Structure 1
Amino acid sequence: MRIPPIGRWISPAPGVIKLNSVGAIDPITRTAAVGVIARDASGNVLGGLAIPTVGCFEASLVEFHGPAAAVNFSLKEGWQHVFFELDCSVVVTKFNRMEGDASMLGIHMQPIRDNCNAFNSCSVVYAPQDANRVAHNLAKYS
């Protein structure tokens, strides 16, 4: 697993779209949100999402919504070579598990994993929150 230095975004290989996604919770307002930012190898922003939701949330489920939104966004845009960077190591581990996962998060992750079969190449890795600042700010903005 490749971990970028703290606070530094690392570009993907040429021809690959890199998507950083995060889920964030504000316990005071009882809101949760997802932020996604997509960039190419030159660092050009190709698009982004800021998706708010309202209610009381379990943290790992909110984090799960980040890759779900990023995968769906990538499919909608027609990108074929994608690289997803998430700041939740639990979600990355569950996403990359090859065998069945009967946990609640594992069950929710399976359809997203299945959707990744539509890509020619797809990688999911962990990156610290500092390397996902733009996506995190989008989540806070929403």
Structure 2
Amino acid sequence: MSRLIFLTLLLAFIGFTSAQVGQVNTPSDKIATGANVIITWMYTQQVNQIPGTLSCVDNSTKNTVLLSSTVDLSAQSYTWSVNVPAGTYYLALNDGSGDKYSGTFIPEQVNHQNKPQHQPACPVLLQASLNHPLLDTNICLALLWWQQ
């Protein structure tokens, strides 16, 4: 009988001392590849904390990309530079007691070719203002503002 009580207390103690991640929050539905996204989770502080393992899982193929195997669980956040191709994914955070999952999200490729290129409207005037003391730089700045 005393062994049964000891075993029950030991299992209860182990259950209370393991890390407890309750929920992994889902990033916004659509995010850009290459963007920095802050991943957050709910966590109950424990005594003998071990680092967590954070992964990104492709929802259709189940291919997994390891984001970090040394996540500080007590920080309750991790900054991820999105490095997966377009598709539908979810996050998996293992706290030592199994994976906890986020909902799905969709990283999208950003087309940098369609991004407008900002070029000075008056580079010749700007260069002249640097070389000629009588030409005021504020004139060029006003022209730049006017043409935007």
TM-score, scaled relative to structure 2? 0.27
Q: Between Structure 1 and Structure 2, whose CA radius of gyration is higher?
A: 2
More strand by share: 2
By percentage of residues, which structure has more helix?
1
- TM-score, normalised with respect to structure 1: 0.28
Instruction: Select the structure with the greater relative contact order (CA < 8 A; seq sep ≥ 6).
Output: 1
